[in-house]
Amino acid sequence: MKYYMPVRLYDENNCVQNHADEIAALGKKALIVTGKRSAFSNGSFDDVAAVLKERKIDFEVFSDVEENPSTDTVFAAGNKYRKDNIDFVIGIGGGSPMDAAKAIALVLKHPEADLDYLYDKTKDPSALPIVCVPTTCGTGSEVTGVSVLTRHDKKTKISMVHKVFPDLALIDGKYLKGASHTLIVNSSVDALSHLYESVLNAKADDYVRMTADAGLRAWARIKDVLTGDREADKADPGLLMRSSALAGMSIAQSGTSLPHALSYVITYDCGLAHGRAVGYFLPGFMEAAPKEERDRLLHLSGFDGPDDFRSFINKVFGGFDIPDEELAKTFEAVKNNQAKMRSASFDVDEAILKKIVYGKKK
């Protein structure tokens, strides 16, 4: 067994201000990587910029990261700042800017890098130091080495092969204030899928179960807020962020499984948010899993069983409208991918995959 999580993580109020010393220790010039808007309205950018100014650390801002960031965006940033003597990169936002920040930190460290570099295991995977400040509660990217990138040349999303972990993760629930209910639902279901898929995974072990079980217990406490059956309270943003980080620690060990693998084509072709796309496949995946472990996970996260879970997914997403030809397309792609087919902790053949893809429809 191996447990590798080389990220220094802090999870507290005023986290960015509290850890100014550790940010400042990373160098004299930073590149801040964000999405187009949210970091500038939820307070996260201002907090980071204030620390950098106070410590007299020069910085550039790249705020062009789109949802489901593309390799084109990574190289746009890489080309723009290659000559700027950047010492470290700060990713602020959801999974999209954090994932982009990892790939940009790799490209800035290796100015010769091209697209193939990101997907060539023989290349040096070292990157500039990275700080991540999450502002959604789903991906756990702040504690994983994964960078999921859109490949327009392949019309899907493919993770970079290199594992690039942040050095510092600064987690503060206050940045969720102002996030829409839809965003909270999408990202919380993404976190839940990480918790389930990491345990129902061929690579799961006791260390994965340790973090996943803790994440599921935290997640169970916010479940009723997602359905609207309970008003949100002060503790919820912290719990949401914590369950997401624990989920990230779990997938950092074992990776994800079929719901994630099946989701990427749907996100690319139909523009479905990541959490919603994964959420579509999750009930079928749970129904296919061995009963004992499946029910243990469902109970830990507050569900009576698979039917209760399917109702929850339908309730929070209000149903799905994914064209059958898209389902057929992702079914074919994953069916022919042996690594993905073997990623679950249980045997998956074509018939089982079909049930996961079509749920109770077929």
Residues that bind ligand NAP (CB under 6 A): 35-39, 42, 67-68, 93-96, 99, 135-136, 138-141, 144, 146, 148, 157, 175-176, 178-179, 183, 187, 190, 248, 274-275
CB of 144 to Fe ion, least distance (A): 10
Q: 175 vs 303, which CB is nearer to ligand NAP?
A: 175
Place of tokens 């206050």: 174
Nearest to 352 by CA among 262, 253, 266, 263: 262
190 binds Fe ion (CB under 5 A): yes
Helix 181-199 / helix 291-300 crossing angle, nearest 10 deg: 140
Cβ neighbours for 83, distance < 8 A, ≥ 6 positions apart: none
- Subset of residues 309 to 338 that bind Fe ion, contact rule: CB under 5 A: none
What is the DSSP secondary-structure string of 314-334? HHHHT-----HHHHHHHHHHH
Q: 248 vs 284, which CB is nearer to ligand NAP?
A: 248
CB of 277 to ligand NAP, least distance (A): 9
CB of 278 to Fe ion, least distance (A): 6
CB of 247 to Fe ion, least distance (A): 9
Q: 106 vs 352, which CB is nearer to ligand NAP?
A: 106
Cβ neighbours for 46, distance < 8 A, ≥ 6 positions apart: 40
In the shown chain, the binding pattern of residues 147 to 176 toward Fe ion, with x for contact by CB under 5 A and - for none, equals ------------------------------
Q: Are 166 and 104 in contact (CB under 8 A)?
A: no
Give the one entry of Fe ion, ligand NAP, none that residue 148 binds, where binding means its C-beta sits below a cut-off of 5 to 8 angstroms depending on kind.
ligand NAP
What is the phi/psi pair of residue 127, to 5°? -135, 170
Q: Which range binds Fe ion by CB under 5 A, 71-79, 125-133, 164-172, 182-190?
A: 182-190
Give dist(CA 20, CA 312) in Å, integer: 41
Give dist(CA 61, CA 46) in Å, integer: 12
CB of 103 to Fe ion, least distance (A): 16
Give the one entry of Fe ion, ligand NAP, none that residue 49 binds, where binding means its C-beta sits below a cut-off of 5 to 8 angstroms depending on kind.
none
Beta strands in the chain (DSSP E): 8-11, 29-35, 58-65, 88-93, 130-134, 148-151, 156-159, 168-171
Helix 181-199 / helix 274-288 crossing angle, nearest 10 deg: 40
Q: Are 237 and 128 in contact (CB under 8 A)?
A: no
Cβ neighbours for 346, distance < 8 A, ≥ 6 positions apart: 200, 288, 289, 290
CB of 34 to ligand NAP, least distance (A): 6
Give the one entry of Fe ion, ligand NAP, none that residue 136 binds, where binding means its C-beta sits below a cut-off of 5 to 8 angstroms depending on kind.
ligand NAP
CB of 147 to Fe ion, least distance (A): 12
Q: 71 vs 263, which CB is nearer to Fe ion?
A: 263
Q: Which range binds Fe ion by CB under 5 A, 52-60, 169-177, 190-198, 317-325?
A: 190-198
Give dist(CA 205, CA 343) in Å, integer: 14
CB-based closest residue to Fe ion: 190
Q: 277 vs 352, which CB is nearer to ligand NAP?
A: 277
Q: Could you tell me the sign of the dihedral formed by the alpha carbons of 222, 228, 229, 230, in that order?
A: positive
236 binds Fe ion (CB under 5 A): no
Give the one entry of Fe ion, ligand NAP, none that residue 176 binds, where binding means its C-beta sits below a cut-off of 5 to 8 angstroms depending on kind.
ligand NAP
Q: 106 vs 191, which CB is nearer to Fe ion?
A: 191
Instruction: Show the tokens assigned to 60.
Output: 């550039």
197 binds Fe ion (CB under 5 A): no
Q: Number of residues interacting with Fe ion: please give it, by CB under 5 A.
A: 1
Give dist(CA 204, CA 253) in Å, integer: 8
Binding residues for Fe ion (CB under 5 A): 190
